[in-house]
Structure formats: C-alpha cells, structure tokens
Structure 1
Amino acid sequence: MSERRHRALHRFVEERASDSYRSAFYYEGDDWETLYVRDDVATNRLRHELPDLVERARSNQPLLREDDYPPLGELGATTEVHEDGAILHFPEGPDEGTIISLDRDVAHRLTGFVTEAMSILQTGELTAYQAATVDD
C-alpha cells in the first residue's frame, strides 16, 4: 500500500530526527500500514489505539479551510504538541494521509522539518527548495 515516497519520507525522518523518531503510519481508505515504530513505543496499548487514531486522522478538520482564507493556501500538515511528543498529520487526499510521531525535543526545528517532509510526500524526494532549519 505504501509507495516509494513513503519509504523516502521514512528515510528522511530517520536521518533528521534520529532517536527522536517514534512512529509513522500511512492510511488510505479503510486500510492503514505501519511504516515505522521505535522499539520502546511498540506497546500493546499503541496497537490497541492505532485503529481509533487513524479514524480520527481521517476525519480531521482544519481550523482554517482554504476557502475561508485563501491567502494561507491549501492545508499541508497539522501538528499536535503533547507533553512528551509531537504528532504530525500530513493529509494526502480526502481519505489518505501519513501520521508521524516524534519526541518533543524536535519542536524547535518543526517548521523546516514539516516543509521538507511535505516536499518528499509531494515529489518522492527532496526538492531544490529546502526550508532553512535551526541547527542544535
């Protein structure tokens, strides 16, 4: 079910987020696929919660729709920042998307990270345009 672009995204996240990369999932229609789960995150509780998490991602509604305020453009990703982690949701169509979970320490570099991840999902590789990111 996953495509070359999802494998490319996994490699990108693995390289950029390193040990902070918690998990990644791709969903399409009623199906979903695990792209990656870090060993300490691969718990029975996560397995139990995944179907509901994916269902909530499918029904995700943006705070601001493109039609409401065209200058912002199309929604590319949403982010939830929790006490111990961040969840990125990349909707790729009306019933398709990718969910990535990272440790919270990546939040200070999040905008550049999201921009590069979106370019990989759109093209299957990093494009010539890359957002500047803050190095540690």
Structure 2
Amino acid sequence: MSENSSEALTEFLKEQVGRHLRSVIFYDDTGGEVIYVRDDVADEYTDEDVSEVVQDVRLEAVDKPHQESLYVHGPLECTLRLFGDAVELHFPHDETSGTAVALDGEVFPMHNTFVEQCLDAMGE
C-alpha cells in the first residue's frame, strides 16, 4: 500500500460521509503525511499532536503479525476505536505503513446503539 491508496480512501470517504470526515493520515517508516484534515479539526491539533498519533498507530502496525498469530480470524485489516465524539479507524497495511482515519461519531449509528447498549449493560 502507498500514499496513493490513502488518497483514494480519502476521496471515497468524502463521497460517503462528506463533512463527517475529520482526518486521514498516511504513515510509513519514513514519517507521516496528513492527507486530509477538516479545518475545525486542524485547529485542535498541533504538529506535535499529529506526530504522537502517527507514532501510536505505527507501534500498532508493528504488532500486526503478532495480532494475526493470536487469533484464527485471518489478516488484521482494521482496528476501530470509538470515542464519545469520534471514531478512529486504523488500517495497518504492513508492519511499517498504514492509514489512520478519524470520523465524527455520528457516522457510525452502531456507536449510538449496539455499543452504547453494551456499555449500559456493563453499567458504564
């Protein structure tokens, strides 16, 4: 995978979720590149914040083979993090590269239904 695949994903997400796309970052072993960031989101993060996010997802990508060896589920294609206001998707392409996507939380109706019901069941 390459930065071009992240750019193609960005265009797809713009069509699918429109203004709910917060950001797309491509990273590899040489660094990270912000492919897209919505204006209001750009105001919330410094360059240092972006570097820390890149470092975090890069570390997760290094663990991709280990994760795949633990579970008999096939290749690890994406990790998903649900926050109160946003959804983070991480697509590790291999051990050194990937794409991180942030969406507004309302894009995932499941976030406000099934996951929320699970949290309620746990008393969270």
| Matched position secondary structure for 1:80 | strand
Secondary structure of residue in 1 paired with 2:34: strand
Deviates more, 1:36-45 or 1:96-105: 36-45
Letter in 1 for 2:80: T
Q: Which residue of 2 aligns with 1:45?
A: 45
Other-structure match for 1:80: 81
CA distance in 2, matches of 1:25, 1:9: 11
Task: Answer whether contact 2:26 2:33 (CA < 8 A) is retained.
Answer: yes
- Show the counterpart of 1:97: 98
Unaligned runs of 5+ in 1: 111-136
| Identical positions, percent | 30
Aligned length: 107
| Residue aligning to 2:71 | 69
In structure 2, how many angstroms separate the alpha carbons of the residues matched to 1:45 and 1:6?
A: 20
Equivalence for 1:15: 15
Does the CA-based 8 Å contact 2:88-2:102 persist in structure 1? yes
Change (3 A) 1:108 1:46: farther
Higher share of residues assigned helix: 2
Query: Measured at CA, do residues 19 and 92 of structure 1 come closer, stay the same or move farther in structure 2, by a change above 3 Å?
Result: same
Offset of residue 2 of structure 1: 1.9
Q: Compute the displacement of 1:31 (Å).
A: 1.2
TM, length-normalised to structure 1: 0.71
| SS of residue matched to 1:45 | coil
For 2:21 and 2:44, the matched residues in 1 are separated by 19
Cα distance, 1:19 vs structure 2? 1.0
- Tell me the amino acid that sits aligned with residue 37 of structure 1: V
What is the alpha-carbon root mean square deviation over aligned residues?
Answer: 2.0
Q: Distance in 2 between matches of 1:10 and 1:109?
A: 22
SS of 1:24's partner is strand
Show the counterpart of 2:119.
none
Q: Measure, in 1, the Cα distance between the counterparts of 2:81 and 2:99.
A: 14
Q: Give the structure-2-normalised TM-score.
A: 0.77
Q: Which runs of 5+ in 2 are unaligned?
A: 112-124
Cα distance change, pair 10–82 in 1 and its aligned pair in 2 (3 A): same
